[in-house]
Chain A
């Protein structure tokens, strides 16, 4: 079920059209352009809504992605490194987003710090191939995960605030 909040989040992320994965050579380049266009627009929308919460970049081939995400809790900014590979079967299967530094700190993760997704994510993704891209995986997978898990990890003292030079 898509609730109002999800619907609103999704309206900020342009949909994609090319169904191609990393094995598809030229079509993958096309898809990659769409991924970047969609992500750029999503980040712009986040910024203008004062809800900027991640940055991503990829290797030249677009198969490995890395960056950071952050979560504001009690006016403090908690930042985490994000990484994932684009699976060969993308976009039929979604990327498995990982926060390696939290690996082993919460039960809501699989090996390597891959986040555990809700029961709703996979059906929703499967029904929206190839329209959903990396931005959607971030918004529907990582976003809700951070919102639930980070406050919990902070309250348990597993995650603590690190003073950082303001960027």
Chain B
């Protein structure tokens, strides 16, 4: 049995540890200083100004980014932006930290079991208390949460306006598509990022609604990884991951975020990364005038009506499709859908679509079964 004295000694020891930890946490800093002293966390960042790379680095404090998905890419993205002194970060994720995540950066074993957003907020606030951090622990793709997500990104910046950028760091098509829907509707610029399930390729893409191709304009792109897909074994696992590829993609993402926010250099519209041969394709894609997202089409009209300076290189156009194909989709059962390895329709060197598109249906067809009652159908199904 433990004696009271032993317990008291243990408490004293823990208190000492705790106060040592708190002593290293710093207070908030009102304005960024360029003074080069070892107590100034911003001196090396403000040096970018002195060197003429960035005109007004301290403006970073005015900006807000939403980071959707705080996993291998999103957590590192949030950490980089926090260290850079961004004004505000809004984090969305509904996952928990697990030991299975420890092959990636950022999270630590003692955080296992915590929600990713909560664990991330804790670490980030400790790194830089100047950054305002707001977290939401939910899945944005469900109807219950989607409206809240839309409201948050449209009113979440430091002056209750829309966020400056949404950074998509999610790992699935559904969530990307959801972010795309929201950003087209709200006219918010966003970066899409991704790492392939084989862990050896990745990409980032800058999406300016109406101006560059949105996520619904064309099937997702895949970066050639120089792997013969037939030799790729997927038995027994969903996905592999490497801290390297994820860190590199997060670095690309934040680098371009900084360039966009602080207006230096050129923002790359699409940047791919193939790890096996260190190949980095870049390109720019125009939006598809027949995109099935009606807000994308609306933003395209708005953009077309705007006067603009012309400067475009290496533009790949997404394929144009007739606006409304006749009813053929109602008859044919299933298209001879091609497997990913059969489709490589090249978009730019080293880039191809993940699959070929099916015919699009733009109009919602009325169905002549109005007389059936939904409640009766539900009851019938339940009684089966």
Contacts and interface: CB of A to CB of B under 8 A. Distances in A.
B143 A23 contact: yes
B177 A2 contact: no
A93 B173 contact: yes
Contacts of B19: none
Contacts of B337: 1-2, 120, 123-124, 127
Nearest to A55: B384
A36 B356 CA distance: 29
B226 interface: no
A30 interface: yes
Interface string B362-384: 00111101101010011011101
B378 A57 contact: yes
Given A27-B364, A33-B369, A123-B354, A128 B334 contact: yes
Interface in A87-107: 87-89, 92-94, 96, 107
A32 interface: yes
Interface stretch (A14-22, A68-76, A158-166): A14-22
B335 interface: yes
B173 A122 contact: yes
A138 interface: no
A122 B366 CA distance: 26
Given A93-B174, A110-B238, A128-B334, A86 B374 contact: no
Q: Say which size band chain A's interface belongs to.
A: 35 or more
A56 interface: yes
Given A85-B142, A88-B141, A109 B374 contact: no
A44 B96 CA distance: 40
Contacts of A32: 374
Contact of A36 (B95, B238, B338, B374): B374
B329 interface: yes
Contacts of A116: 238
Contacts of A18: 364-367
Contacts of A43: 381, 384
Interface in B335-368: 335-340, 342-343, 354-358, 360-361, 364-367
A89 B295 CA distance: 13
Contacts of A29: 374
B377 A19 contact: no
Given A10-B333, A110-B238, A87 B357 contact: no
Given A1-B338, A36-B377, A127-B335, A107 B178 contact: no
Q: Which 5 A-B pairs have the closest CB atoms?
A: A127-B358, A123-B355, A36-B377, A116-B238, A87-B141
8 contacts: A10-B334, A18-B364, A24-B364, A63-B142, A111-B95, A127-B357, A128-B334, A129-B358
Given A36-B380, A108-B238, 8 more contacts: A10-B334, A37-B369, A58-B378, A108-B237, A123-B219, A123-B338, A129-B358, A129-B360
